[in-house]
Structure 1
């Protein structure tokens, strides 16, 4: 008669070991994901000195050329006939701020007041460590003024990057191709005016329509380049937590940052365990009755076996 409680104790022990194993496995997986899933860039607090990079199409990032001034106006570069190179500039700023929402509103307000416009905006995690990504375009002649204003909003400029792409050759190729197509279209229109052959007129009209389609496409590309040159794109990253900002660290390892990441991982693990326990509690309406039925059936079967033996 003592065999029944022994087996029940073994069964209960197995269930407890299984639950403990699931919890330990969950914690281990969460720690692994939190620690090894973090990029190396998160293990350092960057230097406050902004880094400037300029690059041409088809080349790697280069340091600023001698004699270059960020205050050069890109508006004049649209006039390529004067010999000025056409350069499309983009900039990324990572700013540590006190209030993400307020700073974001100031960035958008400044942009609108100075003839620019918003491309996209995103505000995330308002109740934890908020951060925002705002992409705008401002007139190229106000590019440097805009950067100075955005820097003034920050407690610290975690990272700054400026890139330039020379599109002069691309722009000139479009203009030459556009001129060739326009001349060809004019000649075909003259031929169509001189002929009375209906089949010839239809054939020439098809050629003219095809040429006009190509001309419209090239005009669109040309206007897009002029827009990019005249309106500089700036992407501003805002956060109250420097670890949330994208940047390239000068050093690969800093213990204080690792400690912060470990604490966050631990809190995340506790949060995950809490959520898991809530799910388990909700589904207890299913698994508790299932365990009770299993126990009752098992106990009934054991009693039947003992009764049959006796």
Structure 2
């Protein structure tokens, strides 16, 4: 009687354990298949991410940098905010949805031609309602606000706009002061070099002089980089397709392509089933250890 009491729960627990084990084998097999597919794809999105940010101007180092951001139409000119006669790095961002993207691009070209500006990046992606275009325009700093204002007048649904101004005046001042100090030290080493009496002193002075000259070149490079960034500004425009201007039918129906996609999906499904069967066969001894006692217990129970 006592054996009969424990026989039912034992069968239930053994069956449950076997079921969980089979589910685990299936999950591992499917996970292995998914991992293999992902591994084969690699990191194809990395090039796009790098390309997307390739035009971003590097920021200077040293000193103190202040960043101001103005959204909407609040900013007319930098003068209104007391930023005249300072070293400024300006960037503008405009995002809008339009009915006709190609016509908008022509309008941007027309506006750009009125200024000392040039398009340095254009990325056209997607189709139909999902089409979008990213444009980057480089313009001389003096014409930045005017060009930005004209671009904001483009007809469309304006989603957002902003201007970011980075004040690097203190950075430039600090670098210029350090440059003057290094040049003063360079002059002193040259004077010492003229009065050096032996080879050891001459070599020691040459070593220090070369280090100072390397520091001078490094600072001159940083100043040149900041000068280029403050002389030119960048405007980033993001254009998307509005629902009003989108075509009713985005693209033609391509039954051959659909058939190939379905065939590829069927092949991938067959591979997954095959992988699952292989894992089941490999783990069949473990499954047998669980299933055989269950079968024997059931036979004994019937007797």
Q: Give the TM-score range, shorter chain.
A: 0.5 to 0.7
- Quote the residue 1:216 is aligned against: 217
User: 1:105 Cα deviation (Å)?
Assistant: 5.1
Deviations 1:93-149 (A, max 9, x none): 002223334433553565466323344331111445211112222111111221122
Is it true that 1:237 corresponds to 2:238 in the alignment?
yes
**In 2, Cα distance between the equivalents of 1:211 and 1:127?**
59
Change (3 A) 1:286 1:198: closer
Deviations 1:151-193 (A, max 9, x none): 2333122111112122111111000001001111111112112
Deviations 1:201-229 (A, max 9, x none): 22222222211221111111112222222
Is it true that 1:200 corresponds to 2:201 in the alignment?
yes
- Quote the residue 2:116 is aligned against: 115
User: 1:63 Cα deviation (Å)?
Assistant: 8.2
User: 1:283 Cα deviation (Å)?
Assistant: 6.2
- Quote the residue 1:163 is aligned against: 164
- Quote the residue 1:186 is aligned against: 187
Give TM-score scaled by structure 2 length: 0.53
Pairing partner for 1:70 from 71, 77, 97: 77
**In 2, Cα distance between the equivalents of 1:240 and 1:221?**
41
**In 2, Cα distance between the equivalents of 1:116 and 1:217?**
30
- Quote the residue 1:91 is aligned against: 92
- Quote the residue 1:5 is aligned against: none
3-state SS, counterpart of residue 226 of structure 1: helix
Change (3 A) 1:224 1:108: farther
How many residues were matched structurally?
A: 196
- Quote the residue 1:125 is aligned against: 126
**In 2, Cα distance between the equivalents of 1:108 and 1:123?**
15
**In 1, Cα distance between the equivalents of 2:80 and 2:70?**
20
Is it true that 1:279 corresponds to 2:280 in the alignment?
no
| 8 Å contact kept, 1:89–1:232 | yes
Change (3 A) 1:274 1:172: farther
**In 2, Cα distance between the equivalents of 1:108 and 1:176?**
42
**In 2, Cα distance between the equivalents of 1:85 and 1:162?**
17
| 8 Å contact kept, 1:92–1:162 | yes
| 8 Å contact kept, 1:122–1:132 | yes
| 8 Å contact kept, 1:72–1:141 | no
| 8 Å contact kept, 1:92–1:235 | yes
Q: CA RMSD in A?
A: 3.9
| 8 Å contact kept, 2:111–2:151 | no
User: What are structure 1's unaligned runs of at least 5 residues?
Assistant: 1-21, 23-55, 78-83, 243-272, 290-310
Give TM-score scaled by structure 1 length: 0.52
**In 1, Cα distance between the equivalents of 2:262 and 2:217?**
62
3-state SS, counterpart of residue 154 of structure 1: coil
**In 1, Cα distance between the equivalents of 2:201 and 2:113?**
54
User: 1:233 Cα deviation (Å)?
Assistant: 1.5
3-state SS, counterpart of residue 114 of structure 1: coil
| 8 Å contact kept, 2:101–2:240 | yes
Change (3 A) 1:131 1:69: closer
| 8 Å contact kept, 2:122–2:135 | yes
